[in-house]
Every structure is written in C-alpha cells, then in structure tokens.
Chains A and B, each alone.
Chain A
Amino acid sequence: MTQEILLSDHAESTRHNAAPKVVVFACKWCALIGADAAGKNKVQLPVNFRVIPVECASRVEADAVIRAFSSGIDGVAVMGCHLGGCRYNNANHRAAKRLELLRPLLDTVGIDSRRLFTSFGTAHEHHQFADVIGEFYRRLQDLPPVQAWSRSNMNDYRRGDT
C-alpha cells in the first residue's frame, strides 16, 4: 500500500473532529479577564480547551504553536489586547504580524492555517470569550484531527504496511 492511499483513507474517515483539543494562549490583560468573566457568569463552554496565561501575546513564539500541533493539539488560539491597546507599547503588533506570517507556512504543508486562531481585543467580555471559543471549535470540527500529521500516526501506518 502506498503512503498516498493510506493518507487519503485516513483523511476520509476523520474529516470531522468531534472533540478538538485546543490550547489558548491568553494575555492576562484582556483575554484572561474574559475567561474569568465567562466563569463568573457560568457560561457553558466546550470542555476540551486549556488556557496558558501569558503576560503579553508577544510572548507566544511560533515554535510553541508548531510544537503544540506536533504534540497532537488540534488548534491553538492566541488572544491579546486591541492593536492600539497593548500595555506593553504595541508589543502585540509584533505578535500579530509574526502569527500572520506563520499562516502561509501552515497552509503550504496542509496543516491548515485555520488551526491558528488569533483574536486581538475581542475576547475581554464573557460573551466575547465564549463566542470566540465557540467559533474556533466550530472551525476545528470541520478539520480532521491534527494527528493525521504527527509522526506517531505515520508510524502506525508503517507498522501496518508489511
């Protein structure tokens, strides 16, 4: 069996991802406040996301996003403050640009840039946070699990292949 056929079989069977795994890098000054407000208001959210608080969105390195995908995390959200409202003197501009540049790379290899969700300034109220998480989930459910790309998955195929 060739790699191509194995891959396409796999893709067919896992076109949808019912419970995508999401990591959220939330800046302490906006998004984390939104997350906290969502909690206080007891908004019910999908369960498969984990928040990593950062001081500023600009701390989020592209390598960490890539590493997340390679560990089987289906989606990474980076949430920072409004592009005019960063407490660290527009550090978030750099984050926005950097992550914007990561997208074409993710698209080139077919990991799909929709797995990277950036939100600058739209997640600091509880309903906004909930909306953002919900929207990201919906997008990820239309994509296969990122496992299709990770090495361990390829290994499984190799073991099955003579």
Chain B
Amino acid sequence: MEDNKQTRCFLCECYGEISDVVDLESIRKGLEHHPRIVSCEKVKSLCLEENIDELAKRIPLSPESRVLLGACSFLARGDAIITGLQKRGIDPKHIELVDLREGCAWIHRDDPASATKKAGDLINMGIAALVQRNYSEDLTIEPKQEVLVIGAGPAGISAAASLVKLGITVHLLDRAKTPGGLLNLIKKIAPETDGTPQHVEAFLYTVGNSPLVRYYPGSRISAVRGSAGDFTVEFTSGSDVKSINVGAVIIATGARVNLPGSLYRYKELKGVITGIELERSFKGPGMKVTSAVFIQCVGVRDADRPYCSAICCPVSLKQAIQLLEENPDAEVTILHRDIMCPGSVLEDYYRKAMEAGVRFVRYDQDTPPGILGAEQVEEIRVYDVITGRERRIDAELVVLSSPLIPHDDAARVAELFDLNRDIHGFYEVRSLMHPLETTKDGVLVCGSARWPVLARTAILQGEAAAMKAFALLNTDQLTATQISQFKERKFSLALVDRQACTGCGNCVAICPYDACSLEADQGAYKSTVSQMRCTGCGSCVSVCPNGSIQLPEQNALLIGEMLKAAFS
C-alpha cells in the first residue's frame, strides 16, 4: 500500500490475437493520465526471448518498480514471461499479469467494443491488485535432522532402514515389546510362498545394529507440539518419560485384524475359525484337513465397512495352497464375491492356486453362504452365482477371511497429531502427487495405517515415506512459504492485527490446518498464526468479524478495489 509504487504497463498485441479484438491504443491512451502509471507501451509480442530481454531493459530494478502486463493467461505464456523476467532480476511478486487473451479477446470476438471495455476494466483491476498488494514476511527455521517413526512393523522398519542409509537419526517407537507388527502373526508372507520371517530379520539386523536408530519398545506417545521441521514429541517408554525433537514424523502404526463377531456362526460351531487363527496353527503344528472352505469378504464390503481390505484374497490363496501342501487330497474351496488380485504377480498367484486344485465359487452379497452343523461344522450351502445353482460343500474347516480395520489407537494418534481420518477410519492423505502426506506438513503415513496392504507394499511405502521425510529435512533452511506440498511457494501467510483481534476464535475453529491459536494477552485473547502450518487458503479471513486477520497478498482492500474497478 505504499504510494510511491511506480507501475510500468506493457500491452501485448500478440501479433493481432489480442489487438484485432481489443483496441489497445484506446486503453493505452486512457492510461496516459492514470496517477499510478508511469508509462504504457504497446508491443507486438512479449513471450519470445528477445522480447523478454527488451522488456527487462525497460524495467528498473528498484523496490518501487512494478510491472503490469496485459497479455495472455498465466497458463499460456504468462508463466514463461514472468519466469523470464525473474531470471533477469525482476521480482515476480512485483509483476501483475492481466489476461487479455484467453480471458477477453478470444472469448468475445463478436463484440470488440465490449471486449475493449472489459479489457480496460481488467487492466484497472490489475492496477488495483498491484497497488494494494502487500507481502508476507517469511519465517525460516533449520529443520531438525532426526525423524520419528511410529510403529516397528514392516512399513516402519523399512522407513527406518532407508533413513539410516541416508545418515538420519531415527527414533523408532512401538507400543509392543517386540518389533515386527502383524508379521509376528504369520508364517509366510503372501504372495511369496517362501518364507519371510527372514526378511524381517534382515531388516531388524540393519535397524537393530545401527547407531543411528533409537528403538523404544513398549512406548506410548503422550503429547505432540510444533510443526514441520520442528516437532516436539513426548512419550513414555516402559517407565521412562522421554521428549524428542524431530523434523518429520512417519506414522506406520499398521492396522488390526477384525474378528467376525457372530457372523457365519463363528464361536458357535467348532471348526469355524478366522484366517489369522489358521495362520497361528501353521506356525505351530500345522493343519491337516480333508475339506476346507474359505469365505471371503467377512464383515467387509458391506454397508458398515464399504471397502475392500485388499489383503484377504492373496492371504486366503496362500493359506489354501498351504492346506493342499499339507494334504494334497484335501478339497479346498474359496467362496468369494470377487478375487481381488491385481497386477501380474498376484494374478500368477491366483493361477497357481487354481492349478494346485483350489476351487472357487462366487456368491452374492444378498445370498451369503449358510453354515450347517450341530456342534462341529459339517457343510456349507451356497448359491453359486455363475451356475445359478445351490451347492453343498462338505466342510471340516471353515476359514473366515480376516480383513484389516483401523487400529484401536488410531483415533488417539490422529488427535495427538491433528490428522484427518477418512470415513473408514484410516488416516487421510492428500490426493494424487502426495499419496503419503497427511494434511499436517511433516507428518507422513505409510503401510496399513494408511490403507490395508500386503507386507511387500508396506515395505515399499516405508521406503517412499523415508525419502519424503528426507527431502523435507535435507536443507539448511526451511522457509514457511516453501513448505507447501503442492506448489513451490505458498500463496500467502495469514497475518493478525493483534490490536483489532477480539479473540473470538473463529479463525482457530475454521483453519483446515490448525494454524491459528489463541494466546492470552492482558486479560484478553489474541489470535496468533503458525506460519509453518499456514497454507494461505484464506478461510480465516472470510470468517473474521472485523478483518483483523488478513492475507497480505490478497487483503480485503485489494478485493474491494478490484470490485470497484470491475465495471468502471
């Protein structure tokens, strides 16, 4: 809002694309006496290298200097022009690009008079934006070069192992006394049928023997403070109370196995067991049966849990193959609603099971299989969707496939870290390019805590999370505007006028990133913004009753002046 800003205006003809519709000369003339405009020139083109050179020469590199470009859109060549000017020393924050092509000339070709008027208005709006724009003050910190990994299952151990290779100190916490997570419950990992407790041991060796790993079994987190680059986490480990300071957090707390309640007469009949119980017996004496029936989608893919738990089909295939290995004459049938085996490895595995002799019967959600037997299970009746007939299958053993559901501790951890969970209770991650990042910068999630996955995928995600954590920390300085997970710079950082703030707390309640908090200040409360967490979305501004919180780059005065200029 300084009054000494000097704006130079350049109107691009775009070789006629703009100037054939918009009368740039009349706009240029109109700006001649504008108090804010030092000069206004028409040019044939702005985006070729030689044009940018010429343009840069005409722009003084002084702090009051501003540039208004009437050209094409940012997404067309505007971005390139601004980058080109930036390379020649001009601050991109001092350049305003007004879209006269995609936003005017090209969409109003049949009404040049009105298009010219609109272009004039758009230029005036651009001038208002330039004049009223303020700039956020950035905050810089040195990120702590340590990472907290919560959970010592396959995902967590994998993350720790990767970080250790990069020379990062890792604090590895687990609430259990032994590491390994769900891997402790299984004999073989699907789909590889040759064992893997060895793989876990290899990891554990790396992790257990590295001086960079601090391992805390039997621990429980009690408090979390801070933001990306600088988190303080308090936890108890056994009987000790500890506090650590880390730059990033990787949540690898996994999931838990869901028990079927009373579905399919579980607990009522002998011989009806869950997949996880079968696995336990594989680890022990083994299981030799003459007839076994697996039922898939137990307590999942229904109205209460409308998701597919991803692991249960490969796991049942693995167990079915194992039962046949123990007794090649056994009749093993899998009752399914779909066999979920995407990709070539799992598809091969499916074929392998078929070739081993496993039978498959497809049933419908509306006609689930019936379990028959008095005290011991004897027979299954199922409506076979493919043949359209009811089948009766002898069953000495019925295995209810156990899906994964969110951990019982997931809600508490989510609250400690202010994380969102999706409707099923798994931690929510950002979309598309950021599949491991939660909505809290610096907090990553991998493995089954994020979504049910097989061990191999959990390991892969652990490595990926480690890389992302490393990318965050691998810099001397972290600036608030750069911690934005989908653009190079944040748009703006919210700023509070403490004098005006009434402490109402609207900003605190609405902020999608919990960046606002209230501080006691001489008997009243004042809002304060964590610049590291603030993403510049502007939600707080729109609910502040008296405008005491603003985005400097798009403050209320700027919007007001743009509205005034819109139809001048």
Chain A nearest CB from B96 CB (Å) reads: 11
User: Are A73 and B542 interface neighbours, CB within 8 A?
Assistant: no
Identity of the chain B residue whose Cβ is nearest the Cβ of A35 in the assembled complex: B103
B114 interface hit (Cβ, 8 Å): yes
Chain A nearest CB from B132 CB (Å) reads: 13
User: Are A59 and B537 interface neighbours, CB within 8 A?
Assistant: yes
A6 interface hit (Cβ, 8 Å): no
B240 interface hit (Cβ, 8 Å): no
| Chain A residues within an 8 Å CB radius of B75 | 33, 36
Chain A nearest CB from B443 CB (Å) reads: 13
A51 to B108, CA, bound (A): 14
Chain B nearest CB from A53 CB (Å) reads: 9
A48 interface hit (Cβ, 8 Å): yes
A85 to B542, CA, bound (A): 20
Counting contact residues on chain B (CB < 8 A from A), the size range is 35 or more
Pick the contact of A67: B101, B431, B563 (CB < 8 A): B563
User: Are B106 and A98 interface neighbours, CB within 8 A?
Assistant: no
Identity of the chain B residue whose Cβ is nearest the Cβ of A42 in the assembled complex: B106
Number of A-B contacts (CB under 8 A): 125
User: Are A55 and B567 interface neighbours, CB within 8 A?
Assistant: no
User: Are B566 and A58 interface neighbours, CB within 8 A?
Assistant: no
User: Are A55 and B554 interface neighbours, CB within 8 A?
Assistant: yes
| Chain B residues within an 8 Å CB radius of A90 | 512
How many residues on A have C-beta within 8 angstroms of the other chain's C-beta atoms?
Answer: 40
B125 interface hit (Cβ, 8 Å): yes
User: Are B542 and A89 interface neighbours, CB within 8 A?
Assistant: no
A79 interface hit (Cβ, 8 Å): no
Chain A nearest CB from B533 CB (Å) reads: 11
- Max chain A CB contacts within 10 Å: which of B101, B108, B567? B567
A48 to B147, CA, bound (A): 54
User: Are B542 and A98 interface neighbours, CB within 8 A?
Assistant: yes
- Interface members, chain B 103-132 (any A CB < 8 Å): 103, 106-111, 114-115, 118, 121-122, 125
Please give the residue numbers on chain B whose beta carbons come within 8 Å of chain A beta carbons, in ascending order: 73-76, 99, 101-103, 106-111, 114-115, 118, 121-122, 125, 420, 430-431, 439, 486, 491-492, 510, 512-513, 535-539, 541-543, 551, 554, 556, 559-560, 562-564, 566-567
18 contacts between A and B (CB under 8 A): A21-B566, A23-B566, A36-B74, A36-B102, A38-B102, A39-B101, A47-B108, A47-B118, A50-B121, A50-B122, A52-B566, A54-B538, A55-B492, A55-B551, A56-B537, A62-B542, A73-B566, A94-B510
